[in-house]
Amino acid sequence: MSSPLLYSGSPRFAGFIRRADGLLGLIASLILIVIMLLTCADVIGRYFLNMPIPGAFEITELAMGALIFVSLPLVTLRREHVTVDLLTHIVPKGLRVVQQSLLDLLSIVCVGVIAWRVWLKAVAMTSSGDTTATLEIAVYPLVYYMSIMTFLTAGLIAMLAWHDTFGAKNDKTG
């Protein structure tokens, strides 16, 4: 793991976070290995054997989409999003939990809307039969996957926000 997953309180919550992080990391790693092996095989075939892999570029594009969208919930779990804290120092310490809760709520809504719009795009692609140009691979399963990963990200933001706001207090008493 690139950053520690620090969650105080409930061992069950921390265990869930570690298992989810491990699973998403494994999926991301496998996708990256496939991209790497495909690219190596294509380069060797193209430049040494004069036989490139047909559609390697399309497969790489699809795999990159899968990699990016499995990384979205992974980055969320690890809290590795890029943040700008220009105003944090002027917010009183007592209101920082409220500020963070409002930002979490805004994030949930924004990511949820994006997930919903991607789902609608997948539905449209299903009915229109969109495929890749060379191999004619149906694109809609990847777009559904992208939407599901984005919905998962919104759910993880909500779960982490709930835990940060209410869970840590309850964990200490229970």
The CA distance from 52 to 41, in Å, is 8
User: Are the C-beta atoms of residues 126 and 47 closer than 8 Å to each other?
Assistant: no
**Residues 108, 154 contacting (CB under 8 angstroms):** yes
For the chain, what are the domain ranges? Answer: 11-173
| pTM (2 d.p.) | 0.83
Beta bridge partners of 138: 131
Give tens-digit pLDDT for 116-157: 999 999 999 999 999 999 999 999 999 999 999 999 999 999
Amino acid residing at 43: V
Alpha carbons 58 and 11: distance in angstroms, whole number: 43
Could you read off the pLDDT of 45-55 as tens digits, one per residue?
A: 999 999 999 99
